[in-house]
Amino acid sequence: MKPTKSKRSFASDNNAGVHPRVLEAIVAANRGHVVAYGDDPYTKAAIAKFHEHFGKSTEIYFVFGGTGANVIGLKAVTESYNAIICADTAHINVDECGAPEKFTGCKLLPLSTEDGKIRVEQIKPLLHGVGFEHHVQPKVISISQSTEMGTVYTPHELKRLSRFAHKNGMLLHMDGARIANAAAGLTLDLREITRDAGVDILSFGGAKNGMMYGEAVVFFNAALAENFKYIRKQGTHLPSKMRFISAQFEALLSNDLWRRNAEHANRMATILAKELGKIPQIMITQKVEANGVFAIIPPKYIPLLQKSYFFYVWNEETSEVRFMTSFDTTEDDIRSFVALVKKTLRN
Ligand SMILES: Cc1ncc(COP(=O)(O)O)c(C=O)c1O
């Protein structure tokens, strides 16, 4: 394949490439034969890194992708008569092609949100049918951290949700596809916004933070993971050449690479929002607490801008668009995009 001129975009943190340190780790792991399916030194070392961050009694399972992590993590703790409560904007609700419903058999109960965050007061009314056989039985509250709207739950908000969940016989699941961005945004450690805040199951994101692929399902209560090795295999998420996911995670969780990547992406989002916010026809619609920027742009200009820097329209009706930054976004990307926006909107 001929090399093409490298293109830049604000479409998704998944559109970025792989962080060089991570790529080096893959290459370094490409030596000799090791036992497949995770019984190898790279996987042991990666799990030890997870233990450094989250504590020893944490169960970690590597998987190929984020949808899979959510689906099989939820499957592990539910029966088909259960319900999973989430935000209407949640990836599990809108971007997983119904996979959580198909594989868990559970009903999703989506709650409307302005900012991607759900609150205890909204959940209470969903519990009126507990114990009543005609109703699904809520078992999991699933939240995204950071949220699909680029906002972040504070430890206080997380603790309120987890206490409420546990008091009512439920579990707190976190879709942490962007957990690094959330922790960096809050200037906290990974543990403080997961385990210490009462999260039970975490989908730990790697791809958006600089990995090539690979995520982890993390259980903070080992009992919940009792049969998970079977569920992962049956759910088609047991990677045979696991060492290549493990090596990436070891690199990401060493020397604060995860935090540096996330801090950089978040800083780029803050600058982008600040610069776009100065343009009179543009309205920033969400707080920028991680690496996403949401803005309303007059619709006629959107296709023109997308030609040079692709990004997604989030809401056709309101002409709200989403910009995502990543570990490799540069200030130059922002400068030239903002200049293009100014020029386009003047015409
Ligand atoms: C919030 C969230 N969760 C999970 C995922 C995982 O998706 P994938 O299955 O594409 O790895 C994504 C990807 O965009 C996401 O944004």
Q: What pLDDT digit, counting tens, does each position of 144-164 carry?
A: 999 999 999 999 999 999 999
User: Is the C-alpha dihedral spanning 10, 214, 194, 148 positive or negative?
Assistant: positive
- Measure 263 CA to ligand 1 centroid, in angstroms: 19
Helix ranges (DSSP H) in the chain: 20-29, 41-54, 66-75, 91-94, 99-104, 120-123, 155-167, 179-186, 228-234, 243-252, 257-277, 302-308, 331-346
How many CA atoms are closer than 13 Å to the CA of 210, on its beta-carbon side?
31
- What distances in angstroms separate CA 228 from CA 155, 186, 296, one per listed residue? 28, 31, 43
Confidence of residue 4 (pLDDT cuts 50, 70, 90): low
Quick: pLDDT tens for 177-215: 999 999 999 999 999 999 999 999 999 999 999 999 999
Query: What single letter denotes the amino acid at residue 268?
Result: M
Give 190 or 1, the one with higher predicted confidence: 190
> What pLDDT, on the 0 to 100 scale, is given for residue 119?
98
Encoding tokens for residue 324?
A: 């995502």
> What pLDDT, on the 0 to 100 scale, is given for residue 6?
77
Query: What single letter denotes the amino acid at residue 154?
Result: T
- Measure 60 CA to ligand 1 centroid, in angstroms: 19
Distance CA 259, CA 140 (A): 29
> What pLDDT, on the 0 to 100 scale, is given for residue 7?
83
Atom nearest to 207 CA in ligand 1: 11
Distance CA 216, CA 50 (A): 10
- What distances in angstroms separate CA 55 from CA 101, 123, 136, 178, 292, one per listed residue? 32, 30, 34, 20, 30
Q: Tell whether ligand 1 has an atom less than 6 A from the beta carbon of residue 91.
A: yes
Give which of 283, 265, 182 is closest to 12, Cα–Cα.
Answer: 265
- Measure 203 CA to ligand 1 centroid, in angstroms: 10
CB of 104 within 8 A of CB of 72?
A: no
Atom nearest to 67 CA in ligand 1: 9
Give which of 225, 216, 285 is closest to 252, Cα–Cα.
Answer: 216
Encoding tokens for residue 84?
A: 């999973």
Q: Is residue 327's pLDDT more than 90?
A: yes
- Measure 281 CA to ligand 1 centroid, in angstroms: 31
In the predicted model, what is the mean pLDDT of residues 128-148? Answer: 97
Quick: pLDDT tens for 39-73: 999 999 999 999 999 999 999 999 999 999 999 99
- Measure 67 CA to ligand 1 centroid, in angstroms: 6
Q: Provide the mean pLDDT of the chain.
A: 97
Distance CA 203, CA 222 (A): 15
| Best residue among 95, 146, 236, 324 to mutate for probing ligand 1, ranked by most atoms within 8 Å of CB | 95
> What pLDDT, on the 0 to 100 scale, is given for residue 49?
98
Tell me which residue has its CA closest to atom 11 in ligand 1. 66
Atom nearest to 90 CA in ligand 1: 1
Q: Tell whether ligand 1 has an atom less than 6 A from the beta carbon of residue 177.
A: yes
Q: Tell whether ligand 1 has an atom less than 6 A from the beta carbon of residue 96.
A: no
Q: Is residue 3's pLDDT more than 80?
A: no
Confidence of residue 347 (pLDDT cuts 50, 70, 90): confident
> What pLDDT, on the 0 to 100 scale, is given for residue 156?
98
pTM comes to 0.97
With a pLDDT cut of 70, the percent of the chain lying above it is 99
Q: Tell whether ligand 1 has an atom less than 6 A from the beta carbon of residue 38.
A: no
In the predicted model, what is the mean pLDDT of residues 265-280? Answer: 97
> What pLDDT, on the 0 to 100 scale, is given for residue 289?
98
